Amino acid sequence: MTFVMGPALLFCPADRPERYQKAAARADAVILDLEDAVAPADKQRARGAILAQLGTTGVEPELEPSCTIVRVNPVGTGDFEKDLHCLAHTPYRTVMLAKAESAEQLKALEGYQVIALCETALGVLNAAAIAAAPNVVGLMWGAEDLLASLGGTSSRNDDGGYRAVALHARSSVLLAARAHGKEAVDAVYTNIPDLDGLAAEAADAVASGFSSKACIHPSQAAVVRKAYAPSDEEVAAAQALLDAAASAGSGVFTYQGKMIDGPILKHAQEIIRRAAERV
C-alpha cells in the first residue's frame, strides 16, 4: 500500500468517528489523532472508534488506507503500546509518531511508514538522524509543543509571525527531511478564523519546499490546497521560461532582463509538476 501525500493533511480526533468522512472529503489525507486531540480518559474509546468503522469482514474501511494517517502517542508510553495493538487489527500502515526524539524510537514502528513529528527540543536537534531512518517517509514539526518543551509560552510574536526559535526549528526540520529525500510537513496554523494569515503561511511553505501543510479545521484545507495549486498565470510563465531555455540551448542565458540558470529552471519545473498534480 502506497501512501498518497497530498498538500492538505487534516487532523481529526479519533474519538469523533462522525467526522471521519467529512475530513476525508475536505482534505488530501486524514490524520486520525490518538494523541493530543483525545483526552486521556477517552483514548481507549478512540481506538475502538477506529476499529468500529472498519465494519465486518469483507467490508471496505470508511477511510481509504492510502490516504489515512494515524497519529500515535509517544514511544515509551502505555498508550503507544495500546495504539500499536489497535493498528495491528487495521489496514492502516502510515502513522505519525508524536514527539519523535531519536532514530532508535523508529525501530518500534518497523513495518509502518512513519511521519516523525519533531516537536521537542531533542526531536528538532535529532531531526537529521530521524529522517535517515529507513521507515521514515516524512518529517513534520510542531511549534506549540516545541515551545512548551523549552519552557516558553508562545511560538508567535504579537504580529502573528513565528519567534526566531520556532523559525529555526521549522528550517531545521525542512532541511533534515529534504536532505534525506523525505517529505516535509509544515505545522498547523492555530488561528482558525484567520484564513488570510493561513494563506500567507501556506504560500511561504510552498515557496520554501514543504510538501504539505497540516490543518486542524476543515475550512483550512481548501486554503492550503489553493496555495499549492499554481495559478494559470504562474503555469504560463513557467512554461514560457522552459520553452525559452529549450531554444537557448545549454548554459546560462538572459530572459526578460534576468539571468537564468539551472536552479531557476528547476523552480519552473516544480511549478509545472504541481500544476500536473492538480489535474
Q: Name all domains of the chain by residue range, CATH numbers in brackets.
A: 8-228 (3.20.20.60), 232-278 (no CATH)
Average pLDDT value for the chain: 92
**Could you tell me if 172 and 124 are in contact, meaning their C-beta atoms sit under 8 angstroms apart?**
yes
Q: How far is CA 234 from the centre of its chain?
A: 24
- Specify the pLDDT at position 59: 42
For residue range 203-250, what is the model confidence (pLDDT) as tens digits? 999 999 999 999 999 999 999 999 998 777 887 887 887 878 788 877
For residue range 92-133, what is the model confidence (pLDDT) as tens digits? 999 999 999 999 999 999 999 999 999 999 999 999 999 999
For residue range 179-190, what is the model confidence (pLDDT) as tens digits? 999 999 999 999
- Specify the pLDDT at position 234: 80
Could you tell me the CA-to-CA distances from 139 to 4, 123, 230, 273 in Å, in that order? 15, 10, 24, 22
Residue 19's CB is within 10 A of a number of other CB atoms, namely 16
Q: Can you tell me the distance from the alpha carbon of 98 to that of 75, in angstroms, rounded to the nearest whole number?
A: 8
- Specify the pLDDT at position 265: 85
- Specify the pLDDT at position 247: 82
Instruction: Give one word for 12, left, alpha or beta, with left for phi > 0 and alpha for psi -120 to 50.
Output: beta
Give the residues across from 183 on adjacent strands.
138
